[in-house]
Structure 1
Amino acid sequence: MGENMGGITEVFKRFKSFYKEYIPQFIIAIIGMIMASVGTAVSAWLVKPVLDYIFIQKDETLLYLLPYAIIAIYFIKSLGVYLQAYFTAYIGQDIVRRFRYNQLANILSLDMSFFHKYRSGELMSRIMGDIERIRSIVSNLIPELVREFVTIIGLLCVVIYQSPTLALFSLIVLPAAFYPLSRLAKRMRKISRTSQETSSDITSVLSQIFSNIEIVKANNAQKKELDKFGAQNDKIFKLNLKSVKTNTLVSPMMETLGSIGIAITIIIGGQQVIDGQITVGSFFSFLTALFMLYTPIKRLTAIYNQMQDAIVASQRTFELLDMSPSIVDGSIDFPSRVNSITIQDLKFSYGDKVALNGINLKIYKGQMIALVGSSGGGKSTLINLLMRFYDPDSGIILINENDISEFKLHSLRENIGLVTQRVYIFNDTIAANVAYGAPLDETKVIKALKMANAYSFVQNLDDGIYTTLSEYGANLSGGQRQRIAIARALYHDPQILIFDEATSALDNESEKEITKAIENLGQEKIVIVIAHRLTTIKNADKIAVISSGKIVGFDTDEVLEKECEIYKNLKSTIH
């Protein structure tokens, strides 16, 4: 019980900063709760005058007045239920909308290591599914809890007013429910956590299938993926059944206890009516209130059990919200003119795996440097550190005379154009894809597309630069997608350009055009390419040969071919 209340308290604390903005809606919702609860209590009390004054004393005046009173009371009660339901739903939906936004904002601020730890499907499940479960606390369960609690108070007043003795005997059975209820709640929490983790797994499986659908079909792996999905689907089915089994125990348990209370009431109350201690109207008013009382109590226990799912979801959500980036933002702007990049004794490891082991390198403005080496040698890691996706374990990277950790992250990344080996295309227009992350300027978009040798095919499309690309750019060829990605890097006119096998999907003619454009740009910029083609290597001013996390050679193609055995072996495999 204490753990459960602690979970609810934590939810309220997290949403506290939002609540003050909804004071008018809260006031209306509370008025609605009071109207609904008072209406329920008064409707139970009205049984007494109906029986005592109309049926027994034959009071014709009340016969014509009470029906109108009953209609009025039920109208007030219904209006109260509506007001409470609408305004609590409004508050809950709007708070969760804003909370979900804050959740994504925090996730986007986290380091790349976070995204390597959590699967995309799991993050989607937490942002959408878990927060939706929390919404059920804010907009449904908590308001229902309050309403039923107020209703119970009102009905208890009627019950105690009619007969304190009967009230004592009829309600004495309720404490017996506390222990089994707490056991059921604990079981629900355990089931809910497993269920939510499995929901994350199933979302991840679906995300993986749809992201790699071409490979799935090309390898006839539909059955394999379907079996994988089916296993998770069966698991969540069994967990949902366990949840239903646990939740449905609450109602029969409370009804059994309620029947014992009612049986005691009939025995003792019936004797009191026979002895003339209370009237028939008082007894039936008491009995009606008691019947009505067991309903909100039963609902209260069911709500308590349902909350376990939302409390577990809140714990998973707050776990992400409490994370903070380890990459600390700098305080100074990127220099307006980059003269050099200096890398000094740079070391970095992914866990126990050493990626860079003492890299030293100096690159000057106007140079095009090619990074070559076998797969896993540390080339991409060096780029990741330059972009500050990670911070090094030791050593520094200087731009001019400043450590890159001193620069504001936004300013640093705004001045580095990155084209990765994997091409990223968004479900938006070509213009929006090229200008991604910056204000859209049509003239600059066309200029960038021309430099990337992409404008010739773009202008032949029906809507030109405003043609909408499908998800992952499926309506473009591989080479076209890569040219759009290159145009995106060029659009920002960055001072440093990084190409990770950026021309691998291009035909020879396009590659020549883009290589020429890069060479022209390189006169005023620093260009770094991770090279996999002979033409790229030959066009570089210098080549850095990386092996086992170290630079084992740094010179021109001609010199390295004579002096570096590793380079000679690598070059023989490059075409």
Structure 2
Amino acid sequence: MTELLSGPDPDTGHGYGHPDGTGTDAVAHRPDPLDSVQPAHYGRMWELASTDPSTLAGDDTLWLVTGGALDLFAADAGGRGHWRFLGRAEPGALLPSLPHGDRHVLTGRATPGCALYRVRTAELIPAPNEPHDQRHDEPHSTSQSDAFITSTASSRSALAAALDAGLSALLDAVRQPPPPLPPERTVRITPDAHTELGAHQSGAAAPSAGAVTWIRVVSGQAGTDDGTLPPPEAGRFTPMGAHDRVRGEPTAVVAACTTSRLLSDGSLRRHLDDFRPHLMSALSRRVIEEDRQDEARLTAGRRAREAALDQAVHALREHVRPSSVPGPDTRRNPGPRTTTAASASAPSSSARSPTAAQAEHAAAVVVEMVAEAAGITASPTHRAVDHAPHPDPVHRIVRIARTARLPSRPVDLTGTWWRTDIGPLVGFLREGDTPVALLRRRGHYEMADPSGGPRVRVTARTAGRLRTRAVTFYRPLPDDTGNVTRLLFSYGLHGCRADLLRLTAAGLAAVALGLLVPIATGQVLGRFVPDGQRPLIIQTCLAVIVAGLVAMGFGIVRNLAVLRIEGRFETTVQAGVWDRLLRLPASFFGRYSTGELAGAALGVSRIGEVVSGVAMTVVQAVLLVAVNFALQLWYSPPLALLSATMVALSAAVLSVIGARELTWHRRLAKLDNALTNKVFQTLRGLPKLRVAAAENYAYAHWARDFVESQRIRRRVRRLQNAVTAFGAAYVPFCTFILLALLAGPARDAMPVDGILTFTVSFTTQLTATAQLVTALTSAGAVIPLFGRLEPILTQPPEISENSRHPGELTGAIDVRGATFRYSPDGPPVLDDVTLRVRPGEFVAVVGPSGCGKSTLLRLLLGFAAPESGSVHYDGQDLAALDLTAVRRQCGVVLQHAQPFTGTVLSNIRGAEAYSLDEVREAARMAGLADDIAQLPMGLHTVLSDNGSTFSAGQRQRLMIAQALIRRPRILFLDEATSALDNHTQRIVTESTRALRATRVVIAHRLSTIMEADRVIVLSEGRIVQSGPPDELLADATGLFHHFVRRQVR
């Protein structure tokens, strides 16, 4: 088959490769079963990298799989959601393409070595009664195709075998194997014969490897597991795989034939085209049914857990207070009653002395109450709670919130905290550590008991009953961001409706009172002063003073509203952006520098400041322009139109200058981003720069961009000065033109008091217009900040809403055929790696540098996903699990890991609420206890950046203590003991063995390797040896033996 699929598309002249016509020439080798076929010029090879999936959709296409297997998946037609594995097409299979479904599409992903060949169906399978010269433009195509179809039986047999292999793969992919039937109810269907199916009987094809039997209903009615077969009058054949069954409904007679027979009589293409939509429908039904089953299993498990918990809590309550405790469902309705602190009764005895189950249940209810008050919705599938008791109530709430995927943080309740709005909180009573909900309502806090008791208003006396530690939640950004700007404002202004109304009302009132100034000016100077009406002048002045004081009060209200909006916006959005940043996959951080990401995240504060100030200015300026224009229309419509023209001209000129200023702001933002990154990198690499005596080069490198940024800032300042100068000159110029008209042609247009009022109003309108355009221009300066945030907000989080909680892991790890490469066209770093680690097993991974050891660890931790194959924990695919929940049960020490800046205590404990005794025990297990005892402040000794005050061995032990404190079920250590002496390493080894955890250790140190239960030897991305170290050492020809000999020497 050296020339099969090597020619151009007869319609386009392009090869059947990528949609743009690109492709590579055919290779010399072709696998069975089509080696015997020798047609020329049918298409070109479609090189398919394993990281580049192909959609096997189309109406008139066949796909030949060569070189390696092709994994088949059902993918979402919209390009979102997870892929569902369907099966595998082996080399030599010829796959018919399926139509593009409304919800799903058939997709293939190549295994290493696989290549696809795309060819139109008409090139290999003729349509019934279709002369070949109608299908080809080239003269030679007819004779070649005719020769291919009719020349030899071997050609037809090879093509039929390839089609059978492809159809078998598709039929097995979309249909579940039916349950076995007893022999007396099974009828064997043989080709080229009629088979009668009686009631309660099913027909099965004669078993043959990869064969497909085509069946047609001759009489009666028959169906398969996924639908009814076409009626006799349709005359259609339907393919049936080795696992399919046909049943009469109730009786039927069916005829059967082979693919080769249909190919010979020229009807195969028609039957194949008729069957494609049916196969696509069956695929969609299977995916939908499996999704429904998955959801049903999750729902059933959640309900079973909740029911068991409710029953247990109810039984315990009945045991404690059998006559007065309400049923288990009353916890859902805490009731609207509110009492004062003086009239509030003490908690019940069951609340004061809760059992572990009651405490967990009450905590879960409080979390739901506070989350609901904060406007946060947790998916019901994520509300399962780990009921393991914990002595610290704060840690218990944080754990429940983490399980429900609610971002949370502990806070301190100090001072008169209940008098300020700090959002809904989870508090704890001093007596019994009972959790309570602290909810803000109508300007004060109320304490809600999860057991359904009355709500208590929080006062100084009530606050004294609460512990000083509480937990608050904050809303995460939605996964589907859409428009970034709209998202940030809708998200950041959530809960600001009252302040926005106050801001608008105060602005309207201030503008309305501001109209008194031009009107009073015209009346006083145009009428009262000439007439000498002193009482009216005094009254008008007093009215203006009172209006000014009232306007000042409205201004205070407006400014307070702006401050509240700005603070709420910055707090909410800043927390949401950092939460999103921390939930992004590890591969995202390789595409951006630390300075870029830090600048983008911290730019939220700048956005809040600018937008809040601009919003207040824009609202007030728009109202001033509109109201003063209305006033001018009242006095003189023609002059009002003239003033509107002058205002429009001013706005146009200022807009042109502002657009130019915005262009420079964009360049400046990009340059500032680069400068921030350079400063950060220079400070981190300062020791290396000093060793190389390259401080001057670093300074020069920074100075070039700094000078350019200052040059751009000067340009921006010149444009801003131009705006100021234009405003200073344009207002007097327009006023002069207006007065000239009133003194000349429009002398009789209005009285003196009207002229004065109109002039003051016109000046105010021009000033407000300049303020409006300037504010909008300054708002444009934050547009580049939105551009910085866009990559963070548009990147999907590492954990989707459909990820499942893994439960408590036992430590079983299974890697199945994992292949990984860092770039699509690069060599595989891991090549079809398969390994299985039993719970509690100690596995050492060894191999030369660059063989893929650290990459394997990245795959095990979910930092990267294999391009083919999978990683399983306790039989669960890691790609479908909550990666954070998995990693939380793992202790990890990565190669070149560095401590954080902070105390030894904070480095070991991290963000968890571990006690000092637990921290000391972790330090002892890591062999660090004696070193900490010699420090001047013990656990509270502060470490500088990267722990430079510690030796390499102390840093390693510190990171090991950080991994051991959580008592993990799985330990991953990547060269974690390379800097330790033999005595300390022995301590670490004994400590990790005592944990009875699964240990996967990447090491070169012989003493570590020889203590392992099993050694896995990697070379060039493949596992070349695996077994106990003694057995591998005995193999003198093995790589492990040579590895040990080099160390012994």
- TM-score w.r.t. the length of structure 2 is 0.51
Distance 1:574 1:491, change over 3 A: farther
Q: Is the 8 A contact 1:341 1:399 kept in 2?
A: yes
Q: After the TM superposition, which residues 551-566 of structure 1 pair with which residues of structure 2 at under 5 Å, given as runs?
A: 551-557=1023-1029, 559-560=1032-1033, 562-565=1036-1039
Equivalence for 1:537: 1009
Query: Which stretch shows the higher mean deviation, 415-424 or 277-286?
Result: 277-286
Superposed, 1:124-523 pairs within 5 Å as 124-129=598-603, 131-177=604-650, 179-255=652-728, 257-271=730-744, 275-325=747-797, 328=800, 330-338=803-811, 340-352=812-824, 353=826, 354-521=828-995
Q: Which residue of 1 aligns with 2:519?
A: 45
- Which piece of structure 1 moves more, 478-487 or 99-108? 478-487
**Residue pair 1:166, 1:268 contacting (<8 A) in 2 also:** no
Range with bigger deviation, 35-44 or 296-305: 35-44
CA positional deviation for 1:215:
2.4
2: CA distance between counterparts of 1:234 and 1:507? 51
8 Å contact 2:491–2:573 — kept in the other structure?
A: no
Relative to 1, partners in 2 of residues 1:469 and 1:242: Cα closer, same or farther, differing over 3 Å? same
- For residues 18 and 516 of structure 1, the distance between their equivalents in structure 2, rounded to whole angstroms, comes to 52
Total equivalences in the alignment: 562
| Counterpart residue type for residue 172 of structure 1 | T
- How many angstroms apart in 1 are the aligned matches of 2:677 and 2:952? 26
Distance 1:12 1:396, change over 3 A: closer
CA contact (8 A) 2:484 2:793 kept: no
TM-score normalised by structure 1 residue count = 0.89
Contact persistence 1:421–1:500 (CA under 8 A): yes
Q: Deviations over 1:329-361 (max 9, x none)?
A: 6314244433x4222211011123332111122
Deviation readout 1:543-570 (Å, 9 max, x if unpaired): 3222222122334555356122486268
**Paired residue for 2:592, among 118, 126, 150?**
118
**Contiguous gaps of at least 5 residues in structure 1:** 1-8
Q: Which amino acid is 2:626 matched to?
A: I
Does the 8 Å contact 1:206/1:229 carry over to 2? yes
| Change in 2 beyond 3 A, CA 1:256/1:567 | farther
Task: Say which SS state the counterpart of residue 789 (structure 2) adopts.
Answer: helix
Q: Would the aligned equivalents of 1:532 and 1:574 in 2 still touch at CA under 8 Å?
A: no
1:259-285, Cα deviation, whole Å (9 max, x unpaired): 553232121111268x55433332222
Q: What is aligned with 2:17?
A: none
Tell me what 2:301 maps to. Answer: none
Note the C-alpha offset of 1:111.
0.4
Deviation at 1:492?
Answer: 1.4
Contact 1:356 1:548 in 2 (8 A): yes
CA contact (8 A) 2:594 2:677 kept: yes
Is 1:72 the equivalent of 2:541? no
User: 2:628, 2:486 → 1: CA distance?
Assistant: 28
1:366-416, CA deviations, whole angstroms, 9 ceiling, x for partnerless residues? 432222233332111100110111221111223343333344323311222
1:132-153 Cα deviation digits (max 9, x unpaired): 3321343110111011111122
In 2, are the aligned partners of 1:152 and 1:296 still within 8 Å (CA)? Answer: yes
What SS does the corresponding residue of 2:1023 show, helix, strand or coil?
strand
Question: For structure 1, which segment, 544-553 or 183-192, has the greater mean C-alpha deviation from structure 2 after superposition?
Answer: 183-192
Distance in 2 of aligned mates of 1:135 and 1:573: 60
Alpha-carbon distance between aligned partners in 2 of 1:54 and 1:573, rounded to the nearest angstrom? 107
1:50 deviation in Å?
1.7
CA distance in 2, matches of 1:536, 1:33: 73
Change (3 A) 1:515 1:566: closer
Take 1:119 and 1:39, find their aligned partners in 2: how far apart are those partners? 52
Partner of 1:3: none
Give the drift of 1:49.
1.6
Q: CA 1:378–1:137 in structure 2 vs 1: closer, same or farther (change >3 Å)?
A: same
Query: Post-superposition shift, 1:444?
Result: 2.1
Compared CA separation, residues 509 and 220, structure 1 to 2 (3 A): farther
Shift of 1:424: 3.2
User: Equivalents in 2 of 1:194, 1:445: separation in Å?
Assistant: 50
Question: Counterpart of 1:350 in 2: which secondary structure?
Answer: coil
Query: Which stretch shifts more, 113-122 or 286-295?
Result: 286-295
**CA spacing shift, 1:316–1:103, aligned 2, 3 Å:** same
Query: Residue 35 of structure 1 aligns with which residue?
Result: 509
Residues 306-335 of structure 1: CA deviation (Å, up to 9, x unaligned): 121123322432442232135556314244
Pair 1:548–1:10, CA change in 2 (3 A): closer
1:6 paired residue number: none
The answer on whether the counterparts of 1:169 and 1:264 sit within 8 Å (CA) in structure 2 is no
SS at the partner of 2:972? strand
Looking at secondary structure, tell me which structure has more helix per residue: 1
Indicate if the aligned counterparts of 1:43 and 1:73 stay in contact, CA closer than 8 A: no
Q: Tell me the amino acid that sits aligned with residue 198 of structure 1.
A: L
How much does 1:188 deviate?
3.7
- Residues 1:567 and 1:306: Cα distance change in structure 2 (over 3 Å): farther
Aligned counterpart, 2:1020 = 548
Q: CA deviation at 1:103?
A: 0.7
Q: Structure 2 CA distance, aligned partners of 1:406 and 1:335?
A: 16
Q: Is the 2:953–2:979 contact (alpha carbons within 8 Å) kept by the matching residues of 1?
A: yes
Asked if 1:14 corresponds to 2:525, the answer is no
Q: Unmatched 5+ residue regions in structure 2?
A: 1-482
Conservation of the 8 A alpha-carbon contact between 2:636 and 2:749: no
Residue 87 (structure 1) aligned with residue 567 (structure 2): no
* Secondary structure class of the residue paired with 1:562: coil
| Offset from partner CA, 1:88-139 (integer Å, 9 cap, x none) | 122022112111100111111110001111111111101112x133213431
1:526: which partner in 2? 998
Looking at structure 2, the residues matched to 549 and 571 of structure 1 have their Cα atoms a distance apart, in angstroms, of 22
Query: Do the aligned residues in 1 keep the contact of 2:506 with 2:557 (CA within 8 Å)?
Result: yes
Question: 2-side partners of 1:134 and 1:144: how far apart?
Answer: 15
Larger fraction in strand: 2
Alpha-carbon shift at residue 520 of structure 1 (Å): 4.7
Q: 1:59 to 1:272 in 2, by over 3 A?
A: farther
Any conservation in 1 of the 2:809–2:874 contact (CA below 8 Å)?
Answer: no
Aligned partners of 2:610 and 2:782 also within 8 Å: yes
Alpha-carbon contact 1:534-1:571 (below 8 Å) kept: no
Aligned AA (1:303):
A
Q: Distance in 1 between matches of 2:537 and 2:582?
A: 68
Q: Which residue of 2 aligns with 1:5?
A: none
- Shift, 1:47, TM fit: 1.2
SS of match in other structure, 1:502:
coil
Percentage of pairs with the same residue: 23
| Distance change (3 Å), C-alpha of 1:229 and 1:91 | same
Question: What is the root-mean-square deviation in Å for CA atoms of aligned residues?
Answer: 2.7
Q: Tell which deviates more after alignment, 19-28 or 345-354.
A: 19-28
Contact 1:501 1:530 in 2 (8 A): yes
Residue 185 of structure 1 deviates from its aligned partner by 4.3
Task: Name the aligned partner's letter for residue 629 of structure 2.
Answer: L
